[in-house]
Amino acid sequence: MNSAAPHLAPGLRPFERGPTNPGPEAGFPVRDELLDSLAPDLAPLRDKVLAGTRLSFEDGQTLFATSDVHGLAALANYVNESLNGNRATFTFNRHLNYTNKCQYRCMFCAFRRDGDEADTVVMDMDYVREHLTANFSDGMKEVHVVGGINPDLPFDYYTELLRTIKETRPHLHVKGFTMIELNHLAEISGKPVEWVVEALREAGLDSCPGGGAEVLSPRVHRKLYNGKLPPEEWIATVKKVHRAGLHTNATMLFGHIETTDERLDHMVAIRGVQEETGGFLQFIPLVFHPENTPLQRLGKTTGLDSLRTLAVSRLMLDNVPHIKAYWIMLGLRIAQLGLLHGADDIDGTVVEEHITHDAGATTPQGLSTEELAGLIRETGRQPVLRDTLYTELQAV
């Protein structure tokens, strides 16, 4: 156990103000003057936030219900600026979706294929090697590796994939495999998740992305992704990963059939895990894109709902260091506004994205580091290039 942070799993870096969370830089004023003019429903919450008191589920209900959207933004902004100063981060990364064949039929997904469609993808190692050589570069910091749950792939495929990536691009941080993939690997290998994580780590895995959590609600699970890992098992798995010493992110897929109470249940669950393990680096609210999914009739939620959800996330998840406004899903303009509603990161260059674009996203597939820095600068924030674990930070 880490004596500075007794809840922290061995091997994980504590969340404390330091190079990662510097607090307001010298001379940077945390903008709190707006906090003097909040609507009456938000005033008691302001007192809690300023005192550093944890917000309750009921406080979260007030945040989702308030008509004082500016007050909500001011509160979230205050917390973010207290933690991260005026910085907003991004990374230089690429996605690698090694397969889109998937045995599950999640109702929110437009990415999955049965396997007999012409655009089914299963990357072999020659392809991965050539792709990384031709299209990745030495300055790149991260590869985000996820795929469908493809019943054709044996356990060795995954270790070989990691070894191939590390052999071809040794400096890349591999952020790979959701809790769904890790559980599937436990199933096909007949071994515990802890064994799977160790084998993958030995082959080159550095951390795990936050996907697959969807909404940690038994009701939504039953209705939209029954058959896939249930919420309590996602939680149990992520705790095991953190205890093994790997950091992960956590996502929440919102804007479909879930209620705001279910969003709050999700946030409270993530906060509880973080209290135990300290393993989450970022929380990422993912806005649902309905096109080409069985839920197409639902349409898309509003930009305002996205901003509100980012702000509530920042305020409820007081123990998670970073909130990501994922530009691919939010769109560039809402992601920019997200940086003034509690978020301090916009993900990275991405370059090739399928999960959201198969579901109708109109954002570009990728942006250059200069474009990302420009987007951040337009909001008044200082753009900072980061690596996945926030160990390397470079103001740009």
Taking a C-beta distance cutoff of 8 angstroms, is the pair 198, 186 a contact?
no
Closest to ligand V47 by CB, 41 vs 233, is 233
Quote the least distance from Cβ 77 to ligand V47, whole Å: 22
The contact mask relative to ligand V47 for 349-378 (x = CB under 6 A, - = no) is: ------xx--x-------------------
Asked if residue 214 binds ligand V47 (CB under 6 A), the reply is: yes
Closest to ligand V47 by CB, 169 vs 175, is 175
Q: Which of residues 317-336 bind ligand V47 (CB under 6 A)?
A: 326, 329
CA distances 274 to 9, 12, 243, Å, are: 10, 12, 11
H or E element in which residue 284 lies = strand 280-287
Among the listed residues 83, 82, 75, the one whose alpha carbon sits nearest the alpha carbon of residue 49:
75
Among 60, 148, 211, 285, binds ligand V47 (CB under 6 A): 211
Quote the least distance from Cβ 125 to ligand V47, whole Å: 24
Taking a C-beta distance cutoff of 8 angstroms, is the pair 323, 65 a contact?
no
Q: Which stretch binds ligand V47 (CB under 6 A): 52-60, 64-72, 183-191, 283-291?
A: 283-291
CA distances 78 to 16, 274, 380, 383, Å, are: 17, 22, 15, 18
Instruction: Measure the CA–CA gap between 94 and 135, rounded to whole angstroms.
Output: 9
Instruction: Measure the CA–CA gap between 249 and 206, rounded to whole angstroms.
Output: 12
In this chain, which residue has its C-beta nearest to ligand V47?
211
Q: Which strands sit side by side in the sheet containing 173-176, from one edge to the other?
A: 93-96, 142-145, 173-176
29 Cβ neighbours under 8 A, 6+ residues apart: none
Asked if residue 206 binds ligand V47 (CB under 6 A), the reply is: no
Q: Which stretch binds ligand V47 (CB under 6 A): 61-69, 105-113, 129-137, 365-373?
A: 105-113
Binders of ligand V47: how many residues, by CB under 6 A?
A: 22
Among 293, 306, 336, 369, binds ligand V47 (CB under 6 A): 293
Taking a C-beta distance cutoff of 8 angstroms, is the pair 188, 177 a contact?
no
Quote the least distance from Cβ 353 to ligand V47, whole Å: 8
Q: Which residues bind ligand V47 (CB under 6 A)?
A: 108-110, 209-212, 214, 249, 251, 253, 284, 286, 288-289, 293, 326, 329, 347, 355-356, 359
